[in-house]
Chains A and B, each alone.
Chain A
């Protein structure tokens, strides 16, 4: 595929700090993400990974540069680019099913259609039994699966995931990695996945992008991952890739510490 679905070209992004000075967080970030690609982004804290997702989602528009989505500049947020947030942004006043139906309701779908779609995706994440539960009654992993179902139900072209599994325990995370791969192999959505966890990135991604330390972060290295799917953390060849990515990342993390403590 020669024409990427996302062409990212951010010259820089400026944050105002509390003492009035400006902080440049990103510098010349160029990425081309193909349709159906699972792109993972790792990088030291504060390098602008989450900001990049917000920009792609259209939630953040104060940057200098250009992001082309299907060859058109992103002007607003829309249900074709759905974000799954780090801290789950499920709506506590709605039941599980109503949460999944929310975006469909805004799209103006009829009640029957909403229900049918919601149940279909709840089944995909194995939560049909909990459709009438309140959000707070679910475990962390279940909440994350509701968030996934809510995002998938809108059939977005691009799924933006901001450290979605970072708050989960290791077993739940492994299970969700498998489920996510299974679902992704069916839906073939484009995914941009931000994480701190290199193993997670290598396990899930077609490509792993390593960001350099912020401020003025940029893309340090790109690693295409060619290991056969479905992958597990113990899959053959995975460890070598993880080592290679970690070598780059450690260097950047050390740099960001040195800057902080200088």
Chain B
């Protein structure tokens, strides 16, 4: 049953993209817009091909992914500690908690000028923006994930002798895993957006930079090619990595809907 459903859903998606590509082809052939504004499928594919052949795109992808990984890893570590601290210390929750909530709503790219002045025009400034983009959302996610654990679960843990560290590591953290994952999935997308915004603003390899080069050279096919790559990476990380992780946790916990 699910297998059939999956197949038919896959089929529908395939069909959809075929129609989309066909429409693109027809519009570019009809020359509604000039080629330098609306390049043909062929031009975009040859740009993709040459970009990968001379390693420009690969270097761009790896540079961006490295920054994303570094920034996100830092955010997860610091955000995890901050989130737990907010739960543990009431005073911190009442003071810092409000500030973090406020900072979370600020677009992360607003940190860029500050980052440039502090770290100069370089790698650190970009990673700083990535961290600022995801740190607060992770902190709040950890905080609310722990807060929403059923008291009965914590009571049972305490009752069986779990204290402080054992209670945190063996009861509270595993109990919070499903909501933590949802938080991580949202936070990584914040980090990714901040990274792209940061890379657009200064010359530093990376995918955002390649996008900007396309604009500078008036090369629409490069702009579209890089946008395709960015979309693909987003989908891969979100659907394949986080999606798979989430569904395996759901299966384990019995959170999958049965009817």
Q: Are A137 and B254 CB-contacts (below 8 A) given A91-B171, A93-B177, A106-B162?
A: yes
- Other A-B contacts than A102-B160, A134-B253, 19 sampled, CB-CB below 8 A, are A54-B155, A57-B159, A59-B159, A79-B159, A83-B155, A83-B156, A83-B159, A85-B156, A89-B156, A90-B156, A91-B153, A91-B174, A91-B175, A92-B253, A94-B174, A102-B170, A103-B160, A106-B161, A106-B166
Residues of A close to B156: CB separation below 8 A: 83, 85, 89-91
Contact, CB under 8 Å: B254 / A92: yes
Select A134's contact among B150, B155, B174, B254, beta carbons within 8 Å. Answer: B254
Complex interface residues of chain B between 144 and 194 (CB less than 8 A to chain A): 150, 152-153, 155-156, 158-162, 166, 170-171, 174-175, 177
How many angstroms from the CA of A235 to the CA of B111 in the assembled complex?
76
Q: Which chain B residues in 119-167 approach chain A with CB under 8 Å? A: 150, 152-153, 155-156, 158-162, 166
**Chain A interface residue count, Cβ-Cβ cutoff 8 angstroms:** 28
Contacts A92-B254, A93-B174, A93-B252 given; indicate if A85 touches B152 (C-beta within 8 A). Answer: yes
Majority DSSP secondary structure for residues of B touching A: helix
Q: What is the minimal beta-carbon distance from A258 to any residue of chain B, in angstroms? A: 32
Residues 121-156 of A, flagged 1 when their CB comes within 8 A of B and 0 if not, give 000000000000011110000000000001000100
The contact of A78 among B153, B161, B253, by CB within 8 Å, is: B161
B-side interface residues, number (CB < 8 Å): 19
CB distance from B32 to the nearest CB of A (A): 55
B residues lining the A interface (CB < 8 Å)? 150, 152-153, 155-156, 158-162, 166, 170-171, 174-175, 177, 252-254
- For the complex, is A82 an interface residue (Cβ under 8 Å from B)? yes
Residues of A within 8 A of B175 (CB): 91, 93
Contact of A79 with B155 in the complex, beta carbons under 8 Å: no
Which residue of chain A is the closest to B167 with respect to CB atoms?
A106
Per-residue CB contact flags for chain A residues 92-121 toward chain B (1 = under 8 Å, else 0) read 111000000011011100000000000000
* Cβ contacts under 8 Å, B158 to chain A: 59, 77
**What residues of chain A lie closer than 8 Å to B177, measured between beta carbons?**
93
Contacts of A93 in B (CB 8 A): 174-175, 177, 252-253
- B-contacting residues of A (Cβ < 8 Å)? 54, 57, 59, 77-79, 81-83, 85, 87, 89-94, 102-103, 105-107, 134-137, 150, 154
* CB neighbours of B171 from chain A (8 A): 91
How far, in whole Å, are A220 and B101 apart by their CA atoms in the complex? 52
9 A–B pairs (Cβ distance < 8 Å), ordered by A = A59-B159, A77-B158, A79-B161, A85-B156, A90-B156, A91-B175, A93-B252, A102-B160, A135-B254
- Contact call B160/A79, Cβ cutoff below 8 A: yes
Interface residue from A94, A106, A134, A135 paired with B160 (Cβ < 8 Å): A106
A242 to B189, CA, bound (A): 62
Kindly report which residue of chain B lies nearest to residue A95, judged by CB atoms: B252
- Are B160 and A154 neighbours in the complex by a CB distance under 8 Å? yes
Give every chain B residue within 8 A of A150 (Cβ-Cβ). 160
Q: Which residues of B contact A90 (CB under 8 A)?
A: 156
CA distance A93 to B255 in the complex (A): 11
